[in-house]
């Protein structure tokens, strides 16, 4: 019998009460009404730790993007509790939520969305420039983040001069430039070849473990499952099982 982490949420919480970056309880999300109603989430209980990379995996349509969108404060749940970095997201208004995201949450998506006419450092500096920081200071911070992702020597390169993996690393630098406590990533390796995908996952895990952030990564890619500290398997809008890093081989993928 595999030693899966199947104990009730309440027991897991008791183990390390101060370490949760995210706590979801009974989260549901409905889209549409009447005959068009879709139950995207049907009762998600999940805690996410600081200092770990948590993977969300499961078949297309099972609710992964919906769940991270709620966690990141981009979408409101229909019912349930959601606490992120000690903020009760069901109680804060949309204006405050926008500020919360800008200050604390970094985003990485499948598409890097780099601006083609800006170099790597300028692209990575964008969140700081938007927040009104002086350009020189913003670019300096961005270069520090490029250093973190191993691209210090490509600061002046345009996106078109970089490989897909390098462009994704610039996007990661851009997400880190605000120094977020939470990083949410939706299919960050989907457009990458196997080797670049592994580099990106290694990097994201380092971000979690070495800088004590909570990193949540949605992925279909079973080649990268072993990078997760915990792998949350979703099905039909709920959490089916949670695997630890050393249990990946037990997964039926």
Chain residues in the site for ligand ATP (CB under 6 A): 31-32, 38, 40, 60-66
Least distance (Å) from ligand ATP to the CB of residue 56?
Answer: 8
Q: How far is CA 80 from CA 28, 45, 91, 106, 127, in A?
A: 6, 9, 12, 24, 31
- Alpha carbons 192 and 195: distance in angstroms, whole number: 8
Structure tokens at 173: 């630098």
Q: Which is nearer to ligand ATP, 61 or 150 (CB)?
A: 61
Which of 159, 197 has the CB closer to Mg ion?
A: 197
DSSP string, 76-97: --SEEEEEETTEETTTS-HHHH
Partner from ligand ATP, Mg ion, none binding residue 150, C-beta < 5-8 Å depending on class: none
d(CA 199, CA 242): 24
Nearer to Mg ion, 22 or 178 (CB): 22
The site partner of 166 among ligand ATP, Mg ion, none (C-beta below 5 to 8 Å per kind) is none
31 interface partner picked from ligand ATP, Mg ion, none, CB below 5 to 8 A per type: ligand ATP
Give the nearest residue (CB) to Mg ion.
65
Nearer to Mg ion, 143 or 234 (CB): 234
| Secondary structure element (H or E) that encloses residue 236, with its range | none
């Amino acid at each position: 019998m595999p030693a899966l982490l199947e104990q009730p949420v309440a027991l897991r919480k008791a183990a390390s009460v101060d370490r949760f970056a995210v706590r979801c309880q009974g989260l549901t999300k409905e889209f549409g009404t009447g005959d068009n109603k879709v139950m995207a989430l049907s009762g998600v209980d999940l805690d996410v730790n600081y200092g770990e990379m948590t993977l969300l995996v499961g078949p297309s349509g099972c609710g992964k993007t919906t769940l991270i969108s709620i966690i990141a404060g981009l979408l409101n749940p229909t019912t349930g509790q959601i606490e992120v970095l000690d903020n009760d997201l069901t109680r804060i208004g949309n204006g405050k939520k926008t500020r919360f995201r800008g200050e604390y949450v970094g985003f990485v998506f499948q598409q890097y969305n780099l601006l083609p006419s800006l170099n790597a450092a300028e692209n990575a500096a964008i969140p700081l420039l938007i927040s009104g920081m002086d350009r020189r200071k913003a670019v300096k911070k961005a270069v520090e983040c490029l250093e973190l992702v191993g691209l210090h020597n490509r600061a002046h390169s345009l996106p078109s001069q970089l490989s897909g993996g390098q462009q994704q690393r610039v996007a990661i630098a851009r997400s880190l430039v605000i120094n977020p406590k939470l990083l949410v990533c939706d299919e960050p390796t989907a457009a990458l070849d196997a080797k670049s995908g592994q580099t990106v996952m290694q990097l994201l895990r380092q971000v979690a473990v070495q800088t004590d952030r909570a990193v949540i990564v949605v992925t279909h890619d079973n080649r990268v499952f072993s990078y997760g500290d915990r792998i949350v398997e979703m099905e039909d809008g709920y959490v089916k099982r949670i695997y630890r890093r050393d249990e990946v081989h037990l997964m039926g993928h």
